[in-house]
Chains A and B, each alone.
Chain A
Amino acid sequence: MRAPVAVLVAGLALAVGVPTAWAATRPGPAAGPPVASVLDTPSEGPSPAPAVTAHPAAPSAVAPRVAPVRLQLAGVDAPLDPVGVDPAGAMALPEDVDRVGWYRFGPAPGADEGTAVLAGHVDDAEQGLGALAPLREVEAGAEVRVTDAAGAVTRWQVVSRELIEKRALPLAALFQRTGPPRLVLLTCGGEFLPELRSYADNVVVVAEPGP
């Protein structure tokens, strides 16, 4: 009579305990303060009365920018490709899930102002896990390094990670071209929706210039 009671208790403990322990030991969906709060841009103070300045209006060549070529952080060491937008207006990402896209219309990492955006596929049905899959577990304080084509390295420190529903993604704030220099890393996460072959959320990591 004692044995069945023990098995009953142990079985129930296992049935409930395993999922509970799994849930409790997973990295949380977020690290650091919410993304929206770290993306706030301090408003600029009153600007002084402008003096009228003029410059020659003849067409002039625009100096090409040095593109970032390599992204490194814990568990990630990926080559970067300059990317734009697809025909539907979404950010275009490298087909190869081992590569990460740099949004070339926005600032480059290391620019004086604005947010540089790097994004990649978290996985692909054929290719498997993507280079940015570890992004889902990055913690606040983690170091990020970006190397550009000239060999210059910029160092960043993660201040926030959050899982944000795709339709609620603060796109304008994430892609802002003015304001303090930031680095934003994006991939997919959250629940997988097989019927859409897509994830419900984006993993958003925000980093600021490191020490």
Chain B
Amino acid sequence: MSRTRSTTLAAVAAGGLVLLAAPPAQAADTATVSVLHAVPGVPVDVYANGEELIPDFQPGTLTDEMSLPAGDYDLAIYPAGSDPASTTPAAKADDVTVPAGANATVVAHLTETGTPVLTPFVNDVSAVPAGQARVTVRHTAAAPAVDVRAGGTVVAPGLTNPEEATLTVPAGTISADVVLAGTSTVAIGPADLTLGEGTVTAVYAWGSADADYQLAVQTLSGMDSAPSAVPGGSGGLTGDGLPLPLVALSGAGLVAAALAGRRLLGTRA
């Protein structure tokens, strides 16, 4: 691709984004969208409602989160550098509803039989309990049903393309792999995945038998919760009451006053 052309594409993309970017005051009317390219071997241009959104998008790459107005989108991908007016899209998805406040990842991937498609996944970005991490596994590979394992234990059995499974687990690093469903034939991995506390990690199995299978990882943060309390002592040694010696001194004063009062009254009587 020539420099001139990429500059033009960048300008078009920027123009599209000015229309798409909403001021924070309208945050309630926007959605957060990321795009993952998981079709092996083919760089693409991504179009939203006829406007180029992402030029020359490389397989195995993920966009950062974009803030877009909520609404319906016609999405399409074309081979990178082709003219959308005269080219059949490699895949398209019309009237994809992106609701206000939602967090979605649009994935360009292969179906089980190897046809490129665009699938919007909604990310669960509700609060994660303190100490935990949420992980969502998504089957976006040209492959039959799989089991996803963590540390050798099946955690998501029988996942088919384009299904997903979500788990909440203690934060930490796990060793994950993908096996053909019901077998121990490893198709992908194992790979170490760091599941950060209070984050959402989406793990995508993608690729094809010809192009090899791989994992893609998307991390969304900001779902953390504070601990429910802070304990801090069980001794009662720092109670805020008057210290005992001072209680005694005060009491002694009271007794002296009482005795003196009695004597006063007795004198008068």
B211 interfacial contact with A, CB 8 Å: no
Alpha-carbon separation in the docked complex, A85 to B130 (Å): 7
Quick one: which of B61, B215, B234 contacts A121, CB cutoff 8 A? Answer: B234
A177 to B197, CA, bound (A): 12
Distance A127 CA – B237 CA, assembled complex (angstroms): 11
Q: Which of A128-136, A138-146, A154-162 contacts B (4 or more CB under 8 A)?
A: A128-136
- Residue in B53, B193, B235, B239 whose beta carbon sits within 8 Å of that of A59 in the complex: B193
Q: How far is the CA of A17 from the CA of B246 in the complex (A)?
A: 10
Classify the secondary structure of B's interface with A. mixed
Given A14-B256, A52-B54, A55-B61 in contact, is the A85-B238 Cβ separation under 8 Å?
A: no
B204 beta carbon closer than 8 Å to chain A = yes
Q: Which residue of B lies closest to A7 (CB)?
A: B260
Q: Determine the main DSSP class of A at the interface with B.
A: mixed
Spot the interface stretch: B15-23, B90-98, B142-150.
B15-23
Given contacts A89-B130, A123-B237, A191-B240, contact A51 B14 (CB under 8 A): yes
Chain A residue with minimal CB distance to B201?
Answer: A59
Flag A66-80 by CB within 8 Å of B: 1 or 0 each.
Answer: 000000000000000
Distance in angstroms between the alpha carbons of A91 and B198 in the assembled complex:
14
Q: How many residues on B have C-beta within 8 angstroms of the other chain's C-beta atoms?
A: 73
**A58-B214, A133-B238, A171-B226 as given contacts; A19 in contact with B250, CB under 8 Å:** yes
Q: Is A202 a contact of B232 with CB atoms below 8 Å?
A: yes
- Asked whether any CB of chain A lies closer than 8 Å to the CB of B233, the reply is yes
How far, in whole Å, are A133 and B204 apart by their CA atoms in the complex? 50
A188-B257 contact in complex given A58-B60, A61-B192, A89-B130, C-beta closer than 8 Å:
no
Say yes or no: B253 contacts A13, CB within 8 Å: yes
Which of chain A's residues have a CB closer than 8 A to the CB of B263?
4
Distance of A205 from chain B, by nearest CB (Å): 12
Q: Are A197 and B234 closer than 8 Å at their CB atoms?
A: yes
Residue pair B21, A49 in contact (C-beta under 8 Å) = yes
Q: Distance (Å) between the CB of B245 and the closest chain A CB?
A: 10
- Checking A17, A90, A105 against B229 with a beta-carbon cut-off of 8 angstroms, the contacting residue is A90
Contact A89 B227 (CB under 8 A): yes
Determine whether the beta carbon of A57 is less than 8 Å from that of B36: yes
Tell me whether A119 is interfacial, beta carbon within 8 Å: yes
Distance (whole angstroms) from the CB of A93 to the closest CB of chain B: 6
B226 with A123: CB separation less than 8 A: no
Q: Which of B211-253 contact A (CB under 8 A)?
A: 214-218, 222, 224, 226-240, 242-243, 246, 249-253
Contact of A89 among B54, B131, B242, B257 (CB under 8 A): B131
A4, B62: Cβ atoms under 8 Å?
A: no
Which residues of chain B from 135 to 187 have any CB-CB distance to chain A below 8 Å in the complex? 171
A90 touches B231 (CB 8 A): yes
Known contacts A11-B260, A105-B198; is-contact A1 B232 (Cβ 8 Å): no
Q: Are the C-beta atoms of A14 and B228 separated by less than 8 Å?
A: no
Taking the complex as formed, is A211 at the interface, i.e. its CB lies under 8 A from any CB of chain B? no
Q: Does A189 contact B (CB under 8 A)?
A: yes
B218 to nearest A CB, angstroms?
6
Q: Which residue of A lies closest to B266 (CB)?
A: A4
Is A120 on the interface with B (CB-CB < 8 A)? Answer: yes
Q: Known: A124-B235, A197-B234. Is A49-B17 also a contact (CB below 8 A)?
A: yes
The verdict on A42 contacting chain B, using a C-beta distance below 8 Å, is no
A11/B231 in contact, CB under 8 A: no
Known interface pairs A11-B256, A22-B242; A120-B63 also in contact (CB < 8 Å): no
Identify 9 new A-B residue pairs, CB closer than 8 A, beyond the known A192-B233, A198-B231: A4-B261, A50-B64, A50-B67, A52-B64, A56-B61, A84-B131, A91-B231, A123-B233, A174-B226
Binding site for B on A (CB under 8 A): 1, 3-19, 22, 46-47, 49-62, 84-85, 88-91, 93, 103, 105, 119-130, 132-133, 136, 166, 169, 171-172, 174-175, 177-178, 186-192, 194, 197-199, 202-203
26 contacts between A and B (CB under 8 A): A1-B264, A11-B254, A13-B253, A14-B249, A18-B250, A49-B18, A50-B64, A50-B67, A54-B61, A56-B61, A57-B217, A58-B217, A90-B228, A93-B230, A105-B198, A121-B231, A121-B233, A125-B234, A125-B235, A128-B235, A129-B237, A169-B229, A169-B230, A174-B226, A189-B240, A192-B238
Residues of B within 8 A of A (CB): 13-14, 17-18, 21, 23-24, 35-36, 53-54, 57-58, 60-64, 66-67, 129-131, 171, 191-194, 196-198, 204, 214-218, 222, 224, 226-240, 242-243, 246, 249-261, 263-264, 267
